[in-house]
Amino acid sequence: MAALDLHIDNVGKRYGATDVLRGVCLRIAAGEFVTLLGPSGCGKSTLLRIIAGLERADQGHVRAGGRALDTVAPKDRDLAFVFQSYALYPHLSVYDNIAAPLVMRELTSLERLPVIGGLLPGAGQRNRSIEERVRQTSALLKLDALLDRRPAELSGGQRQRVALGRAMVRKPKIFLMDEPLANLDAALRIHTRGEIARLHKEMQTTTIFVTHDQAEAAALSDRVAVIFGSELRQVAAPADLYREPVDLDVARFLAQPFLNEVEVAAPVGGALIIDSSRIIIRDALGSGQAGTLAFRPEHASLVDRDRPGALPVCVTRIEHAGMDAHVFVHAGAGAEFVARISAERAQSLRGGDNLGLTIDSEKAWFFPWDGSRQSRDHSRVA
């Protein structure tokens, strides 16, 4: 199926005195799966609605397949929108819910009438082609056995699949999905996420998916676009985003539940002193700028207290999380850190244990304060 590329050029939107989106530029290739990720209220839905034509940008343009969409009505944009709340027609069967967009588009109001409609020349042929499309779509979504049911007789996951089917049946060139999994319970969310990935692989429709859930974004996307404070901060493949967040906001958002942070006044020569322990940090640290050193719990290790270069710490508490455990420690100067270690190893640790902490400095980040972004409340180091 033909997919379209989508270019978002310098899009801005204000509500009253508030900038909801500022200067958003994003180029999405034909067939690509891109996720808009960011905290609640950051403008994800607004951007999606601007692409769909349900909302007007105050600034900038959206182009699909090279065509400017500014004056194109939503129904002529060749895209389908799936919302968080799947509004199905309650009195129609699954079959009729999926067929509805095709019936509206391809049959006249006379041809839609039950008995008379079927007698009109041409309508029968079109009805058969609608039926074929509905059968194909429902097979793809594994809804074949449910076609006669009404929405009230379906589970939440099945209903969301019907909503997907209704969006897909028109074979849109671009798919927009706004937190379509948010109303499902955890197990179903993961299952349906797999279904969406499989559908995208089969159909290769350009897809823009919105979520505030980083795991969902990483699982589904070719690239993730992180929106924060009305701005597009970073667009990258999931693995690159994990490895190299551009700023502290993005790092924090992507390192939930925990990110270790140390405010550093003016590091010199690639080394950082915490509590008289010298910790070596890669690159960009010779500048003498103040900033924040940040590292993930999985990049901290707990070692013997007297290991050279290790920061002396004391265990405060341990949180088990399946195969791993998060160990909370504090250092002499009042700084707190979290290390992620195997649950097996955590068995041998107790609150009050004295250990050493080392950082995998290749994987730590340093974010200089650029004046516009202030340091916030987190660990302090003397």
- Residues in the site for ligand ADP, rule: CB under 6 A? 15, 20, 38, 40-46
Selection from Mg ion, ligand ADP, none that 41 binds (CB < 5 to 8 A by kind) is: ligand ADP
52 vs 266: CA distance, rounded Å: 48
Q: What is the smallest separation between the CB atom of 221 and Mg ion, expressed in angstroms? A: 17
Min separation Cβ 115 and ligand ADP, Å: 45
Residue (180 or 267) nearer to ligand ADP, CB = 180
Rounded distance, CA 218 to CA 35, Å?
9
To which H or E segment does residue 225 belong?
Answer: strand 223-228
> What are the backbone dihedrals phi and psi of residue 119, each rounded to the nearest 5 degrees, phi first?
-85, -15
CB 37, min distance to Mg ion, A: 12
Q: Backbone phi, then psi, for 96, in 5-degree steps?
A: -70, -30
Contact 186, 156 (CB under 8 A): no
Region of 22-30, 43-51, 158-166, 185-193 interacting with Mg ion (CB under 5 A):
43-51
Q: Indicate the residue among 45 and 221 with the shorter CB distance to Mg ion.
A: 45
Q: From the CB of 226, what's the least distance to ligand ADP, in Å?
A: 12
Q: How far is the CB of 306 from ligand ADP (least distance, A)?
A: 49
Residue 11 binds which one of Mg ion, ligand ADP, none, with CB within 5 to 8 A depending on kind? none
- For residues 220 and 92, what is the distance between their CA atoms, to the nearest angstrom? 31
Element (DSSP H or E) covering residue 157: helix 156-168
Q: Taking CB under 5 A as the rule, does residue 45 contact Mg ion?
A: yes
* 367: exposed, middle or buried (Cβ count in 10 Å: 0-12, 13-18, 19+): buried
| CB-nearer residue toward Mg ion: 37 or 130 | 37
**Total residues binding Mg ion (CB under 5 A):** 1
The partner in contact with residue 89, picked from ligand ADP, Mg ion, none with C-beta cut-offs of 5 to 8 angstroms by kind, is none
**Separation in Å, CA 306 to CA 214, 257, 280, 354:** 38, 30, 17, 10
Taking the complex as a whole, the smallest distance from the CB of residue 235 to Mg ion amounts, in Å, to 19
C-alpha dist (Å) from residue 313 to 154, 264, 280, 327, 358: 54, 19, 18, 11, 10
Q: Which does 42 bind (CB under 5 to 8 A by kind): ligand ADP, Mg ion, none?
A: ligand ADP
312 binds, among Mg ion, ligand ADP, none (CB under 5 to 8 A by kind): none
Give whichever of 46 and 137 is closer to ligand ADP, judged by the CB atom: 46
Backbone dihedral angles phi then psi of residue 226, each to the nearest 5 degrees: -90, 120
Which residues contribute to the site for Mg ion (CB under 5 A)? 45
